Chain A
Amino acid sequence: MQRQMASSTRIEKGTTIVDVVGQIDLGNSPTLRKTLLESLKGTDRVAVNLMAVKYIDSSGIASLLEVLKEARQSKKRFVLFGLTKAVSQVLQLTRLTGVFEIRENEEQALAA
């Protein structure tokens, strides 16, 4: 399992997609937050691909939440897709499943 976190950005059908890989924790969640906030500045729609995220802690969830708030304030769209069991479990435990816009895969994220 990849222990570090890495991310890359691409644009598909007018949506900025941030592909995240690895484990999100206290050590790297500030980097993810910065990446996502930067992505949000340059577009109206950001989708985060979490298919390859095998772990996320509360600091990672807080980072996603902060970007969601920024998106709402600036009337932009922020979508999560490809949630692994690990990510889903933490979102459920923190009762945030209904707070984020969540799609099963990239196709659905782009279509919604």
Chain B
Amino acid sequence: MSSDPRFLSIVRAAVGQLGLVYGLTEESCRGVTLAVDEALANTIRHAYKNRYDREIELSCQAGADHLEFTLVDSGEPADSARICAKPLDEVSLSGRGTHLIKATMDEMHYEKVPRGNQLRLIKHLPAAKVTVEGESSPR
């Protein structure tokens, strides 16, 4: 996808629907959607310095018991010392995005890969069920 924020709402709609299909509660779906959106926004703001003409690779894999979202960008690498460095307090206007990701996802991994910077976000599924057209069936 392009690093243009206009695409964020499209990604949110897709991620939200995917979460529902894989049996996440509405609240968890909102959380996962928020996490992926915040991760993309961080990439646009920090890795690409608000340049809207770059590429972000976003993929999703469904495992037996988890959903995994992978983001790859070719911008500035994340400064691990600054991730969640600021405590959540009333004063701070920025730095809440990563806290939100950590609070809503079960795992978060930053990695440097040959193509650039990779972030993997993992959400464990509540039960091994996939909802298709309103019905549940074991996988």
Contacts and interface: CB of A to CB of B under 8 A. Distances in A.
A25 B99 contact: no
Given A3-B9, A27-B6, A95-B88, A66 B34 contact: no
Given A62-B93, A85-B30, A89-B31, A25 B9 contact: yes
Given A3-B13, A26-B44, A59-B41, A66 B99 contact: no
Interface string B92-114: 01101101100110000000000
Contacts of B34: 57, 89-90, 93
B56 interface: no
Contact of A57 (B4, B10, B37, B93): B37
A23 B9 contact: yes
B5 interface: yes
Contact of A27 (B8, B33, B93, B97): B8
Residue of A1, A58, A89 with most chain B CB atoms under a 10 A cut-off: A58
Range for the number of chain A residues in contact with chain B: 20 to 34
Interface string B1-36: 000111011101100000000000011001101100
Given A66-B93, A94-B96, 13 more contacts: A3-B9, A23-B12, A25-B5, A25-B8, A26-B8, A26-B45, A55-B12, A57-B37, A58-B97, A65-B90, A89-B34, A94-B88, A94-B99
